[in-house]
Chains A and B, each alone.
Chain A
Amino acid sequence: MKNLKFLLIGTLFGIILIKAEVISWFRIQEMFRFQSFHMYGIIGSAIVVGMISLLVIKKYNIKTFSGEEIKIAPKEFTKGNIFGGLMFGLGWAMTGACPGPLYALIGSGLPIVIVVLLSAVFGTYMYGVLKDKLPH
C-alpha cells in the first residue's frame, strides 16, 4: 500500500496533462510551428518551478516524508542523448505524444493510442536488444 501515494500523484499528473491539452497532437503541431505560446509557457514554467523546488530542497536539506535524505542521480552524457533525442523528437511530432501523454490519452477514452504505446514498448525492447551495438 506504500505505492498508493504514487497512484494518487500519477492521477493528478494525468488530469493536469489532459486539462492543459499538452497531450494534444494539435497543440504539439502548434508548438513545432511556433504558432502559440501555450506549450512553451507550460514547459518553461514547469522547469522554473521545478528548479526553485530543487534549490529549496538542497538549500534547507529537506528530507522525504519518511525522513530520508533526498538524492537525485545525475544524468550522464552519452551520444545517445543526441541520436536517441533526435529519434524521440521525430516520434513526438508524428504521434503528438511522449510517454506520459500516451497513458493519459488511453485513459481519456482513446483506445487507438494503445497501439502507439505497444509500439513504443517494442521500440524500447529493440533498444535493449541492440544496445551494445549502438554508439554511446
Chain B
Amino acid sequence: MNILLQPWPWYVAGPLIGLMIPLLLLAGNKAFGISSTLRHICAACIPTKAPFFTYNWKAESWNLIFALGMILGGFIAGYLLKNPNPIELSESAVADMNKLGIKNYSGLIPSDIFNFHALLTLRGFILMVVGGFLIGFGTRYAGGCTSGHAIMGLSNLQFPSLIATCCFFAGGLIMTWFVLPYIMNL
C-alpha cells in the first residue's frame, strides 16, 4: 500500500502511460489523445453553426467517457492514494520558484497563484484564463496535445507530431524564461 501512496517514479509511470496506446487500440481501435474532447464538448454544448462543430460528436463519445474516467482517476489518486508529503522538487527549481514569489509548495499546484480570489487579479486572470485559452486554441490549431502528438504521434513516427512537439516545448521555454517572470510580478 505504501508504494501506491508514494509518488510513482518515472520508470514506472512513463511505461504505463506508453501502454495506454496499445490498450486503447486493442480495446476499440482508438488513437490515444485527449484534446479532441474539448472539441466534442463544444459540439455537444454550444449551439453553433460553425462547420467545425457540426459533426456527429456522439460517435466520438468514447473520448468523453475516457475523460470522465480521468476525473474519476484523479479523484481516486487525489483522495484515496494521496501522497501525504509535498512534491520532492529539486533545490534549484525551488530556489527559482521562490524568486517568482511562490511560497506554498504543499499541493500539486501552487495555491498562491491558482485560487478563486486570484482569478480577480490581473496575474491570476492571465495565468488561468488566458493560459487555458491558449491551451484550447493552440491544441486544436496544432492538431493534438501532449498525448496525441508528443506520445501517440511520436510513437507512430509522425513527422508533423515531431514539429508540433518541438513547438510545444519552444513555447513552454519562451513562457518560462522570458514571459513568466513579468506575469508573476503583476
Interfacial residues, chain A to chain B (CB-CB below 8 A) = 2-33, 35-39, 41-51, 53-54, 56-57, 62, 64-66, 68, 70-78, 80-100, 102-110, 112-113, 115-129, 131, 134
Residues of B within 8 A of A3 (CB): 61-62, 65
Chain A residue, CB-CB nearest to B110: A25
Given contact pairs A6-B65, A113-B114, a sample of 15 additional A-B residue pairs in the complex whose CB atoms are under 8 Å apart: A11-B72, A12-B16, A18-B77, A19-B77, A51-B154, A54-B21, A82-B164, A88-B168, A99-B136, A103-B68, A108-B77, A112-B128, A120-B38, A122-B133, A131-B50
Interfacial residues, chain B to chain A (CB-CB below 8 A) = 4, 7-8, 10-32, 34-35, 37-39, 41-42, 46, 48, 50, 52-53, 61-63, 65-79, 81, 83, 87, 89-90, 92-93, 96-97, 105, 107-110, 113-116, 119, 126-147, 149-161, 163-177, 179-180, 183
Chain B interface helix/strand/loop/mixed: helix
Q: A36-B93, A82-B167, A90-B174 known; A76 and B42 CB under 8 Å?
A: no
Residues of A within 8 A of B166 (CB): 85
CA distance A31 to B169 in the complex (A): 10
* Residues B38 and A124 in contact, CB atoms below 8 Å apart: yes
Q: How far is the CB of B36 from chain A (nearest CB, A)?
A: 9
Q: How far is the CB of A91 from chain B (nearest CB, A)?
A: 3
* Residues A5 and B27 in contact, CB atoms below 8 Å apart: yes
Residues of A within 8 A of B79 (CB): 108-109
CA distance A115 to B132 in the complex (A): 8
* Residues B30 and A123 in contact, CB atoms below 8 Å apart: no
CA distance A89 to B170 in the complex (A): 7
Residues of B within 8 A of A126 (CB): 133, 136-137
Contact partner, B69, options A8, A25, A72, Cβ 8 Å:
A8
* Residues A30 and B31 in contact, CB atoms below 8 Å apart: no
CA distance A107 to B141 in the complex (A): 27
* Residues A95 and B131 in contact, CB atoms below 8 Å apart: yes
CA distance A4 to B65 in the complex (A): 8
Residues of A within 8 A of B107 (CB): 110
* Residues B74 and A105 in contact, CB atoms below 8 Å apart: yes
Chain A residue, CB-CB nearest to B109: A25
* Residues A84 and B138 in contact, CB atoms below 8 Å apart: yes
Chain A residue, CB-CB nearest to B27: A5
Residues of B within 8 A of A89 (CB): 138, 167-175
Contact partner, B73, options A14, A78, A125, Cβ 8 Å:
A14
Residues of B within 8 A of A75 (CB): 143-144, 149, 153, 156, 158-161
